[in-house]
C-alpha cells in the first residue's frame, strides 16, 4: 500500500504503522509476519506478509494498521482495537482455505510450480499441468505428483522491447517443434490460435498460458504494472530477461526514480531457482546496474547471469553470452563464439539499421539457449521474424502508399521514440510527417523528454492528436496543446502543427497530405485497428 505523507511526519508515521501492524498481526496469530516500510519522495510504501490463503485479509490488516497510525500521528482518536481485531479475525476465518494451504506447501516442498487465483488452481504448467476448481482440490498425500511438472518457461520484462523479444523467442520455439504459449500487450496466443486479444502483459495473461494443456513451452511478457500490483505471475521459471530500463511511468506505486523502477522490474528474478538463468544487457546502463546490485544474491540462489551486448568487447559486467560477432548473432561457447545467423538475414533488423531489434535478437537468442532450444531453431526463428502487422504489430510496420513510406509504431516513451528516431534517420525522405499523442497521466517532464526526441525527427508536419479515454486528469485538448508548446520551444516552426481529435482522424489527414517520396510516421497509441485499416485502404 502506498500512502502520501508529508516529509516531517514520515518517520513518525512509519514507526506508528510498524507498531500497529505488529499488534494486529500478533492478534491474528501471524507472529512471524514480515513488515516492510519503503520511503519514497512523496510518502511510504507499506507491506506485510501473511499466510498464503489469507491475502485479502492481509490487505484489510494493512489498511487497519494505517488507519490507526494516521490517527495517532494526526492526534485523533484511534479506532477501537477490540472491534478491529474482532472484524479481522472474522474475515480471516471466512477466507481461510486449509486445503489450498496444504497443497501449496506440498508443491513448494517438491519444487513444483503452482498457478492459482480465485477461479482455479493449476499444479504444474502447460502440458504437464492439471487444473482444479478451488473447492475441489486434491489431497496432497494422495495426489500423483509424477503426473505433473514444469515446462520450459521464460518471463520478459523491461521498458521497451518486451513484446518483440517474446515474439522472437516464440518463433524460435515453434521452429524447434514446440506448441508455444505466449502473452503480450496484444494477445494470448497458443500455437497458431489467438486465444484472446487485449493487453495480457500481466498475471492474467501468464495464467491463461500456463493453464493451457497444449503448451509445451511458455513465454510471458511481464510489464511493470502487473509486477507492482500482483508480483511475479509464475512462481518458478526456467529463465527471465530484463531488456532495458528507462524513465517511464515514474510516480506510480511509489516508484519515483529510474533505479527504483529497475529494481521493480527485476522482481521477475524472484521466480528463478537453482539452475535458472537471467539474461541482461551490459550496454543498457540502468538495467546493467540493477542486475549488478543483485548479482551476489542471485549467485547465492544458484542463478546464472547471461550478459548480452552489441559489441563483443563490451564485457564490463561479466563474460558475454550473446553478441554480434563479425556481423552475426552469436552465442558464447567454450573458447570462442558460434554464429547463428547474420544480422542482415533477420528481416525485422532492416539490415542492422534497427539496432534495438538486434538487441532484442540477442536477448531472445540467449533465452532460447537457456530454454534448451537448438542453435538451428534459434537461427530459423530469427530468419523468419518480420517487422510487420502479423509477426510484430506496431513495431516499425512499413507500408508503401503511392510511393510514400508509411510507418506504424506504438512507441510511447522517450526511450522507445529514440530507437525509432535512430532508425528513421536511415530513411531518405522528401518530406516528413509525425503523428503523436499521449495519455494525460504522463508528467510534463515525460512529455518534454519525448518532445526532445520528436524534434530530432525534423518533420515538416507534426499531427498532434488527443487520446480519447486517456485524459487521466487533464482537460480535453491539454496534452496536444502542451506538446505543441514543447515542440515550439525546441525550434519547430508554428506552421508545422496540425491538431486532430484522435489518431484515426489524424491518420486520415496524414494520408491525404502524403505524396510519393514522403515519410509518414504514425505513433498510434489507440485506435490501432482503425489506423491500420485506413493505411491499407489507402493502398498500403
Q: Using one digit for the tens of pLDDT, what is the confidence trace for 33-80?
A: 999 999 988 899 999 999 999 999 999 999 999 999 999 999 999 999
Distance CA(105)–CA(339), nearest Å, equals: 44
Q: How is residue 293 annotated by DSSP?
A: H
Distance CA(460)–CA(474), nearest Å, equals: 28
Whether residue 169 contacts residue 184, with contact meaning beta carbons closer than 8 Å, is answered with no
Q: Using one digit for the tens of pLDDT, what is the confidence trace for 441-484?
A: 888 999 999 999 999 999 999 999 999 888 888 889 999 999 99
Residue with grid cell 512499413, as numbered in its chain? 398
How confident is the model at residue 471, as a pLDDT? 84
Q: Residue 282: is its pLDDT beyond 90?
A: yes
Task: Look at residue 269 and give its three-state secondary structure.
Answer: helix
How confident is the model at residue 210, as a pLDDT? 96
Whether residue 113 contacts residue 61, with contact meaning beta carbons closer than 8 Å, is answered with no
Query: What predicted TM-score, i.e. pTM, was given to this entire model?
Result: 0.91
Task: Look at residue 500 and give its three-state secondary structure.
Answer: strand
Distance CA(366)–CA(321), nearest Å, equals: 7
Q: Using one digit for the tens of pLDDT, what is the confidence trace for 315-326?
A: 777 789 999 999
Q: Residue 256: is its pLDDT beyond 90?
A: no
Whether residue 280 contacts residue 240, with contact meaning beta carbons closer than 8 Å, is answered with no
- Mean pLDDT to the nearest integer, 148-173: 96
Q: Using one digit for the tens of pLDDT, what is the confidence trace for 176-221?
A: 999 999 999 889 999 999 999 988 888 999 999 999 999 999 999 9
Q: Using one digit for the tens of pLDDT, what is the confidence trace for 376-412?
A: 999 999 999 999 988 999 899 999 999 999 999 999 8
Whether residue 195 contacts residue 408, with contact meaning beta carbons closer than 8 Å, is answered with no
Query: In this predicted model, which residue has the larger pLDDT, 382 or 314?
Result: 382
Q: Residue 251: is its pLDDT beyond 80?
A: no
Q: Residue 224: is its pLDDT beyond 80?
A: no
- β-pairing, 2-4 vs 43-48, is antiparallel
String of DSSP letters for 105-164: HHHHHTT--EEE-SS-EEES-GGG-EEE-TTSPPPTTTS-GGG-----EEEEESSSSHHH
- β-pairing, 328-333 vs 320-325, is antiparallel
Q: Residue 535: is its pLDDT beyond 90?
A: yes
Distance CA(154)–CA(367), nearest Å, equals: 7
> Helix H segments across 37-124?
55-74, 81-95, 98-109
Q: Residue 307: is its pLDDT beyond 80?
A: yes
**What percent of the chain shows pLDDT beyond 70?**
100
Grid coordinates in use for 273?
Answer: 531457482
Instruction: Find the angle CA(245)-CA(117)-CA(183) to the nearest 5 degrees.
Output: 40
Distance CA(204)–CA(199), nearest Å, equals: 9
Best CA proximity match to 102, nearest among 135, 129, 138:
138
String of DSSP letters for 450-479: HHHHHHHT--SEEEEE--TT--TTSPTTHH
- Mean pLDDT to the nearest integer, 424-432: 95
Distance CA(344)–CA(354), nearest Å, equals: 11
How confident is the model at residue 232, as a pLDDT? 87
Amino acid at each position: 500500500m502506498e500512502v502520501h505523507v508529508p516529509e516531517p511526519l514520515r518517520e513518525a508515521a512509519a514507526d506508528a504503522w510498524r507498531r500497529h501492524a505488529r499488534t494486529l498481526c500478533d492478534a491474528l496469530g501471524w507472529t512471524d509476519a514480515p513488515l516492510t516500510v519503503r520511503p519514497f519522495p512523496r510518502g511510504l510504501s507499506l507491506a506485510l506478509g501473511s499466510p498464503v490463503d489469507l491475502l485479502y485479509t492481509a490487505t484489510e490488516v494493512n489498511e487497519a494498521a494505517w488507519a490507526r497510525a494516521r490517527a495517532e500521528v494526526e492526534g485523533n482518536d484511534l479506532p477501537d482495537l477490540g472491534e478491529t481485531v474482532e472484524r479481522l479475525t472474522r474475515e480471516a476465518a471466512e477466507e481461510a482455505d486449509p486445503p489450498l494451504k496444504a497443497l501449496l506447501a506440498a508443491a513448494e516442498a517438491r519444487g513444483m510450480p503452482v498457478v492459482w487465483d480465485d477461479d482455479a488452481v493449476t499444479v504444474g504448467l502447460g502440458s504437464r499441468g492439471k487444473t482444479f476448481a478451488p473447492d475441489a482440490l486434491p489431497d496432497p498425500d494422495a495426489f500423483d505428483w509424477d503426473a505433473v511438472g514444469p515446462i520450459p518457461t521464460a518471463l520478459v520484462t523491461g521498458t521497451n522491447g518486451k513484446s518483440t523479444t517474446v515474439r522472437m523467442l516464440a518463433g524460435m520455439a515453434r521452429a524447434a517443434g514446440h506448441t508455444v504459449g505466449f502473452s503480450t500487450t496484444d494477445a494470448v496466443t497458443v500455437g497458431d490460435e489467438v486465444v484472446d486479444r487485449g493487453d495480457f502483459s500481466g498475471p492474467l495473461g501468464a495464467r491463461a498460458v500456463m493453464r493451457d494443456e497444449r503448451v509445451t513451452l511458455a513465454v510471458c511478457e511481464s510489464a511493470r504494472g502487473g509486477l507492482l500490483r500482483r508480483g511475479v505471475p509464475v512462481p518458478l521459471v526456467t529463465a527471465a530477461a530484463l531488456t532495458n530500463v528507462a524513465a517511464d511511468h515514474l510516480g506510480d506505486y511509489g516508484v519515483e526514480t529510474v533505479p527504483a523502477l529497475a529494481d521493480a522490474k527485476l522482481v521477475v528474478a524472484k521466480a528463478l531457482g537453482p539452475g535458472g538463468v537471467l539474461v541482461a544487457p551490459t550496454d543498457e546502463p540502468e538495467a546493467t546496474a540493477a542486475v549488478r546490485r543483485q548479482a551476489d544474491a542471485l549467485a547465492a540462489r544458484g542463478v546464472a547471469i547471461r550478459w548480452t551486448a552489441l559489441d563483443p568487447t563490451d564485457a564490463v559486467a561479466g563474460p558475454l553470452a550473446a553478441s554480434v560477432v563479425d556481423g552475426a548473432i552469436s552465442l558464447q561457447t567454450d573458447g570462442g563464439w558460434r554464429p547463428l545467423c547474420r544480422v542482415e538475414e533477420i528481416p525485422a533488423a532492416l539490415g542492422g539499421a534497427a539496432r534495438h531489434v538486434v538487441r532484442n535478437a540477442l536477448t531472445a537468442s540467449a533465452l532460447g539457449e537457456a530454454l534448451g532450444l537448438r542453435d538451428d531453431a534459434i537461427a530459423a526463428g530469427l530468419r523468419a521474424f518480420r517487422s510487420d502487422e502479423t509477426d510484430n504489430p506496431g513495431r516499425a510496420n512499413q507500408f508503401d502508399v503511392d510511393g510514400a513510406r508509411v510507418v506504424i509504431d506504438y512507441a510511447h516513451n522517450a526511450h522507445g521514440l529514440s530507437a525509432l528516431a535512430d532508425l528513421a534517420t536511415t530513411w531518405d525522405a522528401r518530406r516528413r510527417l509525425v503523428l503523436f499523442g499521449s495519455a494525460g497521466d504522463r508528467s510534463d517532464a515525460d512529455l518534454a523528454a519525448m518532445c526532445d526526441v520528436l524534434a530530432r525527427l525534423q518533420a515538416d508536419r507534426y499531427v498532434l492528436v488527443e487520446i480519447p479515454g486517456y485524459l487521466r486528469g487533464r482537460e480535453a485538448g491539454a496534452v496536444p496543446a502542451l506538446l505543441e508548446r514543447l515542440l515550439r520551444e525546441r525550434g519547430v516552426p508554428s506552421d508545422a502543427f496540425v491538431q486532430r481529435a484522435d489518431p484515426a482522424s489524424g491518420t486520415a489527414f496524414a494520408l491525404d497530405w502524403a505524396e510519393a517520396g514522403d515519410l509518414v510516421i504514425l505513433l498510434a497509441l489507440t485506435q490501432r485497428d482503425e489506423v491500420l485499416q485506413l493505411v491499407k485502404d489507402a493502398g498500403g
